[in-house]
Amino acid sequence: MSVVFDRKAGEIGGDGWNLMDTQERSKCSGRSRGLVWYIGTAACLGLLYLLLLVVILSYVVNNDKATSPQGTDQLQFFTLGQTECENLTLQWIQLQKRYNKLSESTQQLQTMFSSKNAELDAIRDERDQLKMDTRNLTKEMENLTLQGIQLQKRYNKLSESTQQLQTMFSSKNAELDAIRDERDQLKMDTRNLTKEMELLQSRFNTVVTMRDELQEEVKRLNLNRTEKLCPDDWKKYNNKCYYVSAQRVSKSWDKSKKDCEDRGAHLAIINSRDEQDFVSKFYDRTWIGLSDKDLEGHWKWVDGTDLVGDGYWQEGEPNNDRNIEHCAEVSRKGGGWNDMPCSERLSWVCNLPL
Ligand code: 2F8
Ligand code: CA
């Protein structure tokens, strides 16, 4: 007898199984009903064998009544019945053994079935978990895809900006290179000019020395003369020589002072009304050698002597207008003095006693 396990239905089938009708099979279906079914089958088979035994015995009795003498017949019948009974007992024992084996197989199958069922449940759980994981992963993947798209957009924008910056950087670099070249050129020019200036300064110093020597020589020669003379283009007035700046040339007070000193004289020092009138007639406005640069209100001449007396100030002067007037000019307006900002550019007059 073979036994088959139907995984789908969870039922057990086989040769004995097929002996049952459909209704009985459905009654006996299911895991717990297998054992009952086998016991039922065995009982049915037992009953069948008993029935068969009764039928055979009755057949033998009837047949012997018709064919054989009475005493011999009874003995033969008994012998036959005993043999048949022994056969049936043997068959019953074999059937019992097969039933036991079948029970064992059923139990094993039952165990296997339970273990397989547990395995199946575990696999189902695993599958469900995997399904859930897959769903989560799909969602995550969708999110990541969205993020990826946004990231790509940002990357593209960043790339554009980088490119623009790169372009700007290149242009600035070129500009920087040009400026560097220019700077280097200017440095070289400055070096050359410095050298040239040093050369000119040295020449100028030589010329100044020569001029001073010549002026000394003129002074020495003049001392020996009975009639003292002023240099060419200078004016002589009351034992003083006067240099009057050229027309349309103007300088600040300090530069005018320096010019006079370079000529071996000083910015005009005025000691009398007569001299004041003489100086005021050359130009509308003229620097003279008087200032209060060192101390406000303390007027001094360029030779370091203080202004003695009231001087020849115009009315209301010196007024140190806007607190920036520290140098004196002669202006034709009344011919008197006025204090002015020293940076003002005016004509100037130098003088030098003979
Ligand atoms: O420019 C400065 C000058 O301005 C006037 O003269 C035009 C002032 N005179 C008066 O206020 C009367 C100067 O004092 C001044 O120096
Ligand atoms: Ca003034």
CATH number at residue 343: 3.10.100.10
To test ligand 1's pocket by mutation, which of 317, 322, 330 has the most ligand atoms within 8 angstroms of CB?
A: 317
Residue of the CA atom closest to atom 5 of ligand 1: 321
DSSP code per residue over 181-248 = HHHHHHHHHHHHHHHHHHHHHHHHHHHHHHHHHHHHHHHHHHHHSSS--PPTT-EEETTEEEEEPPTT
Q: Which phi and psi (to 5°) does residue 308 adopt?
A: -100, 135
Residue of the CA atom closest to atom 16 of ligand 1: 340
Residue 29 lies in a domain: yes
Distance 304 CA to ligand 2 centre (A): 22
- Are residue 132 and residue 239 in the same domain, yes or no? no
C-alpha–C-alpha distance, residues 301 and 267, integer Å: 9
Query: Is pLDDT at 60 greater than 90 in this prediction?
Result: no
Final residue before a domain boundary, out of 119, 138, 157: 138
Average pLDDT of every residue of the chain: 85
pLDDT confidence bin for 9, thresholds 50/70/90: very low
Contact of 300 with 278, CB cutoff 8 Å:
no
Residue 116 lies in a domain: yes
**Measuring CA to CA, which residue among 30, 4, 8, 7 is closest to residue 17?**
4
Query: Is pLDDT at 27 greater than 90 in this prediction?
Result: no
First to last CA, the chain: 165
The predicted model gives 158-163 an average pLDDT of: 90
Which atom of ligand 1 is nearest the CA belonging to 325? Answer: 16
pLDDT in tens, 168-191: 989 999 999 999 999 999 999 999
C-alpha–C-alpha distance, residues 322 and 338, integer Å: 14
pTM, full prediction: 0.43
Residue 210 lies in a domain: no
Say which residue, 222 or 252, is predicted with more confidence.
252
- Are residue 252 and residue 125 in the same domain, yes or no? no
Residue 76 lies in a domain: yes
- Are residue 126 and residue 238 in the same domain, yes or no? no
Tell me the range of 43-47, 79-83, 95-99 where mean pLDDT is highest: 95-99
Q: What's the domain range around 326?
A: 231-353
Number of structural domains in the chain: 2
- Using CB distances shorter than 6 Å, the residues near ligand 1 are 316-317, 319, 321, 325, 338-340
- Are residue 134 and residue 236 in the same domain, yes or no? no
Say which residue, 169 or 300, is predicted with more confidence.
300
The predicted model gives 317-323 an average pLDDT of: 98
Tell me the range of 138-142, 169-173, 251-255 where mean pLDDT is highest: 251-255
pLDDT value at position 11? Answer: 40
pLDDT value at position 1? Answer: 42
pLDDT value at position 266? Answer: 98
Residue 307 lies in a domain: yes
Final residue before a domain boundary, out of 85, 114, 138: 138
Query: Is pLDDT at 16 greater than 90 in this prediction?
Result: no
C-alpha–C-alpha distance, residues 148 and 168, integer Å: 30
Structure tokens at 233: 């283009």
Residue 287 lies in a domain: yes
Query: Is pLDDT at 29 greater than 80 in this prediction?
Result: no
Final residue before a domain boundary, out of 138, 156, 191: 138
Tell me the range of 26-40, 42-56, 83-97, 253-267 where mean pLDDT is highest: 253-267
- Are residue 134 and residue 261 in the same domain, yes or no? no
Residue of the CA atom closest to atom 3 of ligand 1: 340
